[in-house]
Amino acid sequence: MNLGRHLVRSRGVFRHFSHSSKVCYPGKFLSDSYDCKDAWTKRLESPIISKVNADDLLFEMDKRYTQDKVVSAIDVDLFVHRVDSVESVEEVEELVHRLRKSPATSSTLPSTLHAVNRLYIETGRFDDLLRLLNDRMNYGLFLDNYLSNLLMDKFLAEENYKNVAKIASLHMLQEDFGPPLTQLYCLYGTLKYLETPPSEPWEPEPAPDPRETSREETKIKVKFLRQPGFDDHFDLTNENHILGKILALVSMNLVEVSDEVFKRSLELYGWALYDKWEKVDNMLRMASSKQWKYSSEVIAKVLELAESQLKVIESSETKSLPPPKLKRYPGMNLDPVSVSKLFAFLNRPDYSKVIPQVITALKGEQISKTDLPIIPTAEKLLKEAVAKYEQSIVDEQLKTYEEWEQVRSDVLTEQIRQYRNEQRLMEIEKQKKELQEREEVIFFFDNEEEWMMRQPPAVRVYKMRFKGKYRPPKQIEDTTYVPPTI
C-alpha cells in the first residue's frame, strides 16, 4: 500500500470523532469506568501529541521509508496516538507492518501496541484485530491484560463466546494467563463456548489457490523444502485441542482459587479435550489412591469424550486416533511418507489401550464424585474477582498512562539529540572537506612535484589510418647501391 498516494487521495481524512459519537460498550461484569475513556482521550491534549499533524507526519514517514527504508518507532507511536478514526485503520496497519519488519521493531514502545489495539476496539474492527493478533510474525501485536479483560468482557456481553475463547488461546500460546481476573475471564469464556455448540468452524477455510485448480503445472522456486514439524503448541489446529489446553493450563495457574475439586475437575476435562489420555489415566489413578474428588458433571463429559474417541479408534484402519492436522507453511514437504515418519518419531501413546482403561475407571466406584456445577462456579469466581481487583487495575492503568507520557517525552528528546549530533557531524565533515580543498589550492605550487606524481601516466592513443588488410611493403633491390666506407 502506498501511503503517500493514499494520503494525497484522501487528504484531511484524519478528523477526530467527537466523544459522543463513539460507541460505549458496557461490559457484563465490568463497570463503565473500567475503559478509562476520559484518561485515554486526554492524551490528545498532551504537549507533544497536540502539536503533531497526522497528515504531514504520515507523508514524511512514507517519504523516508520510500527513500531510505527507515522506520522510526517514536514516529509510529506519535501517529497512532494522534489518530482515532476508522479511516486511519489501514494506514496504521501498514505502519505497524513496516515497523515490525524493520530493525526499529526492538524499540517499539508498549504504548504503541496499546494505542493500536484501542483504535481497533473503539472503531469496532474486531475481526481485523484478531487477524493481526494471530499474525505475530508480520505485525507483532500483543494484548496487555487490561485490554484483554476489556475485550473479553465486551464479547461476553454480546454472547460472542468464540472471540472470548480466541483471546484466551492467545494467552495460552504465550503461556501467560496474567493476573487472577484475566485467568478467570479466559476460563469462563472457554467454558461458555464449550457449552454452546459452535455454528461455524474455529478457523475459516482458506481461499483456494487458483494455481492449484489450473490445468497447467506451475513450478515455483523455493529456497529449501521444510521437513514437516509439529511442536504440539503453536502448530495446534484442532479446536478441541486448543480449548482443552486452555483449560488444562489455566486450571494449574489458579493460585488464588482454593477449591481444589474445581481446579482438578477442570484440568481433567482439559486433558480429555486435548486428547492427552495418558494424563487423564494418570489423574484417575491418583484420584483412587489419594481420595480425590471430581465434579460429576465433568466425569460425565470426560466419559462421553472417551467413548466417542474409542469409536473413532475402532472404526479406523490403523486402530488408533488420527494424528493432528499439520499447519501448511511455504515450502513444507507434506507427503504422506514424511508425515508418517514424523509421528513415528514423536512416539504417540497407544490410545487403543489407554482409553478403555479410562472408561473403566470412570464407570467404576473408585472415583469420588460431587455435585459441583462448573460454569456457575466459574461465574461466581469471576464476579468476586471483578469486585476485588477492578478498581486497583483502573488505578494502575491511569498511572501507566502517565508513565508512558514521560517515556515518550524522554525517547523523543533523545531522538532529537541524536539527530542534532548527526547534523553537527555532517556539518563538520563538510567544513573539513572545504578547508582541505582550499589548502590544496593555496599550496599548489609548493606541492607541485607531489601533484605531478599523483597524476596517472599519460597514455598515447594511436589511431589506425589504414583499415584494410595489412600488406608488408615491397622490397626493391638496388644494384647501384654502394655501402659507405668506415
**DSSP for residue 227:** P
| pLDDT score for 24 | 39
| pLDDT score for 25 | 42
Q: Which amino acid is at 454?
A: R
Distance CA 205, CA 196 (A): 21
| pLDDT score for 20 | 32
H-assigned helices in 175-276: 180-195, 210-213, 239-251, 260-273
Q: Which amino acid is at 333?
A: N
| pLDDT score for 328 | 77
| pLDDT score for 322 | 86
Percent of the chain with pLDDT over 70: 86
Distance CA 87, CA 94 (A): 13
Distance CA 205, CA 210 (A): 15
Distance CA 178, CA 144 (A): 9
> Which class for 415: exposed (0-12), middle (13-18), buried (19 or more C-beta within 10 A)?
middle
Distance CA 438, CA 443 (A): 9
Which position has the higher pLDDT, 354 or 199?
A: 354
Question: In the numeric block, which cell numbers belong to residue 200?
Answer: 461455524
Distance CA 195, CA 191 (A): 6
Place of cell 487423564: 280
Q: Taking all residues of the chain, what is their mean pLDDT, rounded to a whole number?
A: 84
Place of cell 501498514: 94
pLDDT band at 325 (very low <50, low <70, confident <90, very high): confident
**What are the b/e assignments for 48-70, b being 16+ CB within 10 Å?**
bbeebebbebbbebbeebeeeee
Q: Which amino acid is at 37?
A: K
Contacts of 451 (CB under 8 A, 6+ apart): 444
Q: Which amino acid is at 380?
A: K
Distance CA 174, CA 191 (A): 20
CB 343 within 8 A of CB 235: no
| pLDDT score for 337 | 85
C-alpha distances in Å from residue 137, one per residue of 2, 105, 165, 308: 21, 11, 21, 37
C-beta atoms surrounding 375 within 10 Å: 14
Of 178-192, 276-290, 387-401, 434-448, which gets the smallest average pLDDT? Answer: 434-448
| pLDDT score for 486 | 66
Q: Tell me the three state secondary structure of residue 329.
A: coil
Distance CA 398, CA 324 (A): 44
CB 73 within 8 A of CB 99: yes
Place of cell 510474525: 137
pLDDT band at 283 (very low <50, low <70, confident <90, very high): very high
Q: What is the Cβ-side half-sphere exposure of residue 103, based on CA atoms within 13 angstroms?
A: 3
Which position has the higher pLDDT, 208 or 317?
A: 317
Q: Tell me the three state secondary structure of residue 368.
A: strand
pTM equals 0.80
Tell me: the pLDDT tens digits for 406-455? 998 898 888 889 888 988 999 999 999 999 888 888 887 787 778 777 77
Question: In the numeric block, which cell numbers belong to residue 132?
Answer: 493481526
Place of cell 553537527: 424
Distance CA 19, CA 17 (A): 6
Distance CA 17, CA 83 (A): 10
| pLDDT score for 466 | 58
Cα 361 to its chain centre, rounded Å, is 43
| In the predicted structure, residue 338 carries a pLDDT above the cut 50 | yes
Tell me: the pLDDT tens digits for 213-246? 556 667 767 666 778 888 888 989 889 999 999 9
| In the predicted structure, residue 13 carries a pLDDT above the cut 60 | no
| In the predicted structure, residue 26 carries a pLDDT above the cut 80 | no
The DSSP bridge pattern shows strands 293-295 and 368-370 to be parallel
Distance CA 478, CA 468 (A): 29
| pLDDT score for 84 | 82
Question: In the numeric block, which cell numbers belong to residue 167?
Answer: 483471546
CB 412 within 8 A of CB 47: no
Tell me: the pLDDT tens digits for 155-202? 999 999 999 999 999 999 999 999 999 999 999 999 999 998 777 888
Contacts of 19 (CB under 8 A, 6+ apart): 37, 41
Q: Tell me the three state secondary structure of residue 446.
A: coil
pLDDT band at 469 (very low <50, low <70, confident <90, very high): low
| pLDDT score for 120 | 93
